[in-house]
Structure 1
Amino acid sequence: MTDTCRAFKTKLASLNISVQSIETLSHWCIFHRKNARALALVWSEELARAPAKQKLAYLYLASDIVQNARKKGTDWADAMVDLAPTACRDVATSGDDKTAERVRKVLRIWDERKVFGSAPVTTWLDGADGAGTTTAGAKPSARAPAEPSVAVKKNKRDLTEVPALSGENAALAKLLVKMETAEREFNEATERFAADAKEDLLDEKALDETSDPPALLRALQSAESAIAAKRNAIETTSETLDGLEKKLRSALERVDALRQKQDQSVMSELTQMAVKCATLRMKASKKAAAFVAMQAASGASAPPPAAEREDDANDEDAYLPEPVDFDAEDDDQYDPTDAPEEFDFGGKRQRTD
């Protein structure tokens, strides 16, 4: 096993379902795409040995690698196409129904985006749940179902709880995401530059002393590409940081303006008002209790409010309708069958309240 494969095996041991963990290792794998076939075999072997709760992270890693590596070639897709069917069945049968559904979702994405070309991706789970026949050569895992990853549940819950941003806050959030991407690409370009653009390669003596001009040409082409990639990464990072700095300054100005509105003198004044209001409320409560006790002792009821007394005086000569006998027989042409069922009481009018 090469040093690269051993390093990959170590990294896989600490892989988890978080986006950062998956993307970090994915970029490392894409950088080492020349060793894709060897690394893919390590991935397949470690997935088979991994605990059930970690297998889904392995599949998500493979999905991120094969999709993002396409712009750099088909090395990873070619290396994974023969290993992915068995791996997908292993992940699906090692977890619960939710895990199997996540595997199907990954396969649908692969099929829609033609990640593996014309490969019959949607049939890779046939036979995994007993609904069909297993693809030739595949050996579905017989591991017992396991509980879904706690990290998956937490990540899903966090995503649903994040509120939508708007205005300046949304622009700032987009720049933060862009900065994270630029930082990741810069680190990748730096690693590539260190590996391909070595100083001794740029010495003219290498051209005179080489015994394999084609190999030297390929090395120089790789060095030129690495230099250009690092230049682009630096320019992109610088531009992103400039824009982010402006937005952060604007955000700090809004913070200062909000702090000015929440001046400490205003808080002190509100505190004094709250204390005064509470003191008066307590005194009013005692006075009201004493008044009620006095009224109870004298046997007198509290007088009605002035407005109520005024209304009673105005209503002394008002017309009062005669009470209605709701149990009397009808003497008019009322037909109870015309009324809705909930108001049909055997021919008598009833109160509905």
Structure 2
Amino acid sequence: MSLSDETVYSKLNALNETQEGIVSIAQWVMFHRRHAKRFAQLWLQRLKESSAPRKLNLVYLANEVVQQMKARKKEEFGVAFAPIIADACEVAYRGSSADIQGKLRRVIQVWRQRAIFDVDVLDRIDTRLDDVDKGKSSTTARRGLGGGIGGATPAELTRLAAAQSKLNNQLTHSTIALGSAGDEYKKWMEADAIPPPAVYVARLSQLIKTLDIAHAAVSDALSSRKELIKNLESLLETNKTALAGEESQLKGVEEKKARTDDVKKDVENMLLSGMTDDKNGDTAMRSTTPDIEPPREMVEALTPPPAAEDPSFQESGPFSFQQTPPTKTQAPADLLSSMLQYGNYSKAPAAPKAADNPMAGMEGLDADVVAMLLKGANSSKGNGAPVQAQPLAMDDDDDEYHP
């Protein structure tokens, strides 16, 4: 019994999330275990085109088929799903909610516990899912740091991203179509036994349809790749033009920087030479021009000169209170002169001793005093009695000298 793609797609479209629906379709799939490889390719294609909840249902279907066949010691579906199961799990995991991702993780954990697939296959699945989680975390971090701008695709790469996504889808279609066409071709063109002509014609007609599908899928992938290359070349040409302009700008900036640096050095040299000239001029002026000290003002000395420098100073002997009796009789005029000298009347000149000049030393005295002195002098001459000098009076209360 042949298995067409339309039949497989119709069964997959009828899949629901109930246990009964998954088990019934799994039984139908296992019945066609001879087409396990083709079913796996069509299953992957339908999974990529489905929504997140239907992707989870398709994974449940594959889990049911693979586990049941392994329990029956049949490896057809295990071998058919092993090359594509990592890609299928990544497609179902990416973009799904946290609840669906947790259920997918649970299925993969059951596969590891029951050794449904080889360890390297399970490791590839875990690596793909971990990469999806890391990419989501890094995108969230970039958006948090950049305010939602860091994770956005640049405008120049939008067309490239769309062309690359289209090419990836076309490559998936072409891979599945080429695999199916290759199997059919070997089966009917390289078989040792040829069926009856009527049956053979029908099989060849089906093979031609399969090859047409593969041809169309490969043509679409080729067109998508050409479109991607065209966009890449356009972006490359744009960047080459921009590169030439930026190199020219860089050269202009370097020239301006070099010129500015030269001008700066010239100005610095001018400043240094000017400072050197100023220093030399100041040094020459200081060496040729003598220092002129301003004349000092004449200031009268506040301290009197020493007594030894005074020409009128006469050093006297030690003072003594011992009274010396007079040896000769002094005339009244001489006595008056002596009294005036001890009384600090320094302005009166000393009376001359000449007897023939009785008026000597009496200049400036009152007439009455002069008459009295002259009278006394005449009487002393007539009597011849000596006049004794009175002793110096001393104050008994203190040691102050009083004349």
| TM-score bracket relative to the smaller structure | 0.3 to 0.5
Normalised TM-score (structure 2): 0.33
Normalised TM-score (structure 1): 0.36
Structure number with greater Rg is 2
**Structure showing greater relative contact order (alpha-carbon pairs closer than 8 Å, 6 or more residues apart):** 1
